[in-house]
Amino acid sequence: MFNRSKVCGTTPCMIHGSREIEDALLKHLGVKRNEVTKDGLFSAGEMECMGCCVNAPMITVVDYSNGSEGYTYNYYEDATPEQVVEIVKMLRRGEKPPLGSQNPKRINCGPEGGEYYIVR
C-alpha cells in the first residue's frame, strides 16, 4: 500500500487553514514535504486547486491499497489538522475514512446547517 497525500494550497483552502493541515500531516508523518515515510507508506505534498473550494480546506489521498490498477483518489474536505491526522491513523489501521466533507453540519457541498435545495 502506498498513500500519497496532497494538501490543496490554493487561495480558498489556504485562507481556511491548509498550511496548518500540511504542518500537522508532516509532523505526524515525521517527514518534510514530498518525502516518503520510513515504512514507505505515506508521503505528503501540495497540489493546486482540486475543485472542492466550497468545502475548503481539503486534502486528497491516493490509495494504492488495491494495487496500481485499482487505486482510488479520495477527497477529504472541510478538514481540520486533527482530522487529517486521524485519517492517516485510520488508513494505517486498514480502515476507510469517510469520504467528502468532514464537517458533520454539512451535507455534500451544501451550506453548513443543511439549508439547501434539490433541483430535479
Rounded Cα gap, residues 104 and 116, in angstroms: 15
- Among residues 25, 26, 56, 84, the one that binds ligand FES under rule CB under 6 A: 56
Rounded Cα gap, residues 116 and 6, in angstroms: 29
- Rounded to the nearest whole angstrom, what is the least distance from the CB of residue 22 to ligand FES in the complex? 12
Q: Which candidate, 17, 42, 16, 41, places its Cα nearest to that of 33?
A: 42
Nearer to ligand FES, 65 or 80 (CB): 80
- Among residues 29, 50, 59, 61, the one that binds ligand FES under rule CB under 6 A: 50
Classify burial at 58, counting beta carbons within 10 Å of its beta carbon; exposed 0-12, middle 13-18, buried 19 or more: buried
Nearer to ligand FES, 12 or 97 (CB): 12
Using CB under 6 A, list all residues that contact ligand FES. 8, 10, 12-13, 49-53, 56, 58
